[in-house]
Amino acid sequence: MESENLKDLSVVIPSFNEEENIKLIYPKLKSTLEGLKKSYEIIFVDDGSTDKTYDFLRKICQDDKNVEAVVFRRNFGQTAAISAGFDYAEGDVIITLDADLQNDPEDIPFLLKKIDDGFDVVSGWRMNRKDPLITKRLPSYISNWLISSFTGVKLHDYGCTLKAYKKEVAKNIKLYGEMHRFIPALAKWVGASICEVKVKHFPRKYGKSKYGFSRIGRGFLDLLTVKFLLIFSTRPIQIFGRFGLISIFLGFFSGIVLIIMKIVHKVDMTGNPFLYLSILFFLVGAQFISMGLLGEIISRTYHESQNKPVYFVKEVLTHKKKVKQ
C-alpha cells in the first residue's frame, strides 16, 4: 500500500465459488472501467473457494496489472471479504460488487456521478429485483423495512452489494459477523451522507446462492446489535436498565394478580403454572438478550484492542509478485 500506487477507483468483489461468473464479469467490468478514463484496481477477494475461482484469479492477476486477489485461508463470509477489500483498497473511491453477475458493472458510472455530487456513500437500489419471491424478495422487503425503522437511515434496499464509498468512510467502518448489509447505518453513524441510485438486477445464471432462510434470523440479531451500537453503546444502563425495570414491573404486577386471585377468587397461588412459566420465559429472554449485547461489546473490545482481523489471508496475488502472508 505505497502512496505512489494510489488509484482513483478500487472495485472490490467478494467471490465464493463463482468460477463461471468471474470469467464473465471480469471482461465486462474491465471494459466499463477503461471507459471511465480513471486509474483503477480490481480486487477479487477469494473467500475460500473450492472450485476453479483461484486458478482463474491467478491467471488474470498475472496478465493484468490492475487486478489483485486477496485469497482467504478458508470461507470467512461475505462481510469479511468486503472488509478485506476495504483494507487492501488504495482507491479514493471504493466500489463493491457481487461476483455473480446479478449486478451490472455498467451502473458504476451512475454511482460515481453521485459521489462527485458530494455524497459519501451511494447505495444501489434493485428496483426490479430478479430473485425468488418467497426465499429472497419477501424476507428482504421485511428486513429493509425493519432496518429503515430501527436505524433511521431511509433506504429501499440494503442488501444490494453494488455500492460506492469514499475511501475515508469505508476505511473507518469496522465490520463483523454479517454486518455488510448495515454499512449504510454504520456509515451514518460516522457522519457520512448517503443516497440511493436505481440499478439493474439480473437473475443468477451460474452457481448457487450462498444464502437461504437461516439468514433471516441471523439478520434480525445483527439488526438488534446495530441498533444497540448506534444508540446505546455509550450508555448500556439505558438498555439493560430498561429490561430490568420492565422485569421488575412485571414481577410486581404478577404479584398483585396472584394476591387478587387468592383473595377474591380463592385460587391457590401455587396452582397457576402458566404465570410462573411466563415470568420465567420473560426473565430468561431478557437475560439472553442482555448477555448477547454484552457479548457484542466484549467481542468488539477484543477485536479493536488487539487489532485482530476478522479474516486470515493465505496469499495476495498481484501482477508483480505473489505476496505470502
The listed partner (ligand UDP, Mg ion, none) that binds 42, CB under 5 to 8 Å by sort, is none
Stretch that binds Mg ion, among 98-106, 186-194, 212-220, 226-234 (CB under 5 A): 98-106
The listed partner (Mg ion, ligand UDP, none) that binds 140, CB under 5 to 8 Å by sort, is none
The listed partner (ligand UDP, Mg ion, none) that binds 210, CB under 5 to 8 Å by sort, is ligand UDP
CB of 169 to ligand UDP, least distance (A): 21
User: Rule CB under 6 A: which residues touch ligand UDP?
Assistant: 14-16, 18, 47, 75, 77-78, 81, 98-100, 102, 209-211
For Mg ion, which is the closer residue by CB, 132 or 241?
Answer: 132
Residue 9, beta-bridge partner list: 40, 93
CB of 103 to ligand UDP, least distance (A): 9
For ligand UDP, which is the closer residue by CB, 104 or 120?
Answer: 104
For Mg ion, which is the closer residue by CB, 102 or 144?
Answer: 102
For Mg ion, which is the closer residue by CB, 83 or 140?
Answer: 140
Size of the site for Mg ion (CB under 5 A): 2
In degrees, rounded to 5, the angle at the alpha carbon of residue 47 between the alpha carbons of residues 45 and 53 is 80
> Applying CB under 5 A, does 90 fall inside the site for Mg ion?
no
DSSP 8-state secondary structure symbol assigned to residue 280: H
CB of 298 to ligand UDP, least distance (A): 25
> Applying CB under 5 A, does 100 fall inside the site for Mg ion?
yes
Question: Strand runs (DSSP E) across the chain, as ranges?
Answer: 7-15, 40-46, 67-72, 91-96, 121-126, 163-166, 194-199, 313-317, 322-324
> Applying CB under 5 A, does 102 fall inside the site for Mg ion?
yes
- Burial code (b: 16+ CB inside 10 Å, e: under 16) for 296-307 equals beeeeeeeeeee
Residue 166, beta-bridge partner list: 93
The listed partner (ligand UDP, Mg ion, none) that binds 46, CB under 5 to 8 Å by sort, is none
For Mg ion, which is the closer residue by CB, 8 or 131?
Answer: 131
The listed partner (ligand UDP, Mg ion, none) that binds 15, CB under 5 to 8 Å by sort, is ligand UDP
CB of 98 to ligand UDP, least distance (A): 4
> Applying CB under 5 A, does 83 fall inside the site for Mg ion?
no
From the list 14, 299, 38, the residue with the least C-alpha distance to 183 is 14
Can you read off the three cell numbers belonging to residue 264? 377474591
What is the helix (H) or strand (E) element at residue 298, kind and residue range? helix 273-306
CB of 286 to ligand UDP, least distance (A): 32
> Applying CB under 5 A, does 144 fall inside the site for Mg ion?
no
Cα gap 148→142, rounded to integer Å: 10
For ligand UDP, which is the closer residue by CB, 70 or 153?
Answer: 70
Measured between its terminal Cα atoms, the distance across the chain in Å is 14
Cα gap 169→61, rounded to integer Å: 27
Long-range contacts of 141-145 (CB under 8 A, 24+ apart): 143/181, 143/216, 143/219, 143/220, 143/223
Cα gap 105→162, rounded to integer Å: 9
Binding site for Mg ion (CB under 5 A): 100, 102
